[in-house]
């Protein structure tokens, strides 16, 4: 019984520490911002937890009231967090497997429906 408890506890503790603060696939611009020492998101934990609310609030303001700021703009998310395919110099879609958005969304089992309409790569000319 005790042995089982030890196994269970070690698994529990292990899973807590397995969740590191680093994102494996941050995206090109986001990585360069990070390495330059600049801070884009004031708090990573807040943006991780709250980004759906931020985006939802922003989308209504933009679409219904015409407020077009760059704060919490989905275009901005895609622009910074998209990765380029090194061989053909094309962007990977952010919602494709292993890319920035799908990485976490798959892990936590939350489907995301932004990209059935929204563009998944930065716009032409920003290559």
Cβ-based nearer residue to another protein, 5 or 70: 70
* Three-class SS of 49-86: HHHHHHHHHHHHHHHHHCCCCCCCCHHHHHHHHCCECC
Which of these segments, 18-26, 46-54, 62-70, 102-110, binds another protein (CB under 8 A)? 62-70
Site string for another protein, 64-103 (x = CB under 8 A): xxxxxxxx---xx---------------------------
User: Any contact of residue 119 with another protein (CB under 8 A)?
Assistant: yes
The answer to whether the CB of 34 falls within 8 A of the CB of 26 is yes
From residue 64, give the alpha-carbon distance in Å to each of 26, 55, 61, 68: 31, 14, 6, 11
User: Any contact of residue 40 with another protein (CB under 8 A)?
Assistant: yes
Which of these segments, 5-13, 14-22, 61-69, 104-112, binds another protein (CB under 8 A)? 61-69
- The CB-of-32 to another protein minimum distance in angstroms stands at 11
Give, to the nearest 10 degrees, the angle between helix 74-81 and helix 28-35. Answer: 80
Query: Cα separation of 27 and 83, whole Å?
Result: 5
Size of the site for another protein (CB under 8 A): 26
Cβ-based nearer residue to another protein, 47 or 103: 47
At 32, which helix (H) or strand (E)?
Answer: helix 28-35
Enumerate binding residues for another protein (CB under 8 A): 33, 38-40, 42, 59, 61, 63-71, 75-76, 116-123
């Amino acid at each position: 019984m005790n042995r089982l408890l030890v196994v269970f506890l070690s698994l529990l503790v292990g899973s807590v520490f397995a969740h590191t603060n680093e994102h494996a696939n941050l995206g090109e611009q986001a990585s360069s911002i990070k390495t330059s020492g600049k801070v884009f998101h004031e708090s990573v934990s807040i943006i991780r937890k709250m980004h759906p609310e931020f985006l939802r609030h922003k989308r209504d303001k933009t679409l219904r009231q015409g407020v077009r700021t760059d704060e919490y703009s989905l275009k901005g998310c895609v622009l910074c967090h998209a990765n380029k395919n090194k061989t053909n110099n094309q962007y990977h879609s952010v919602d494709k497997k292993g890319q920035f958005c799908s990485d976490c969304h798959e892990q936590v089992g939350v489907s995301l429906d932004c990209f059935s309409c929204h563009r998944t790569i930065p716009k032409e000319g920003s290559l």
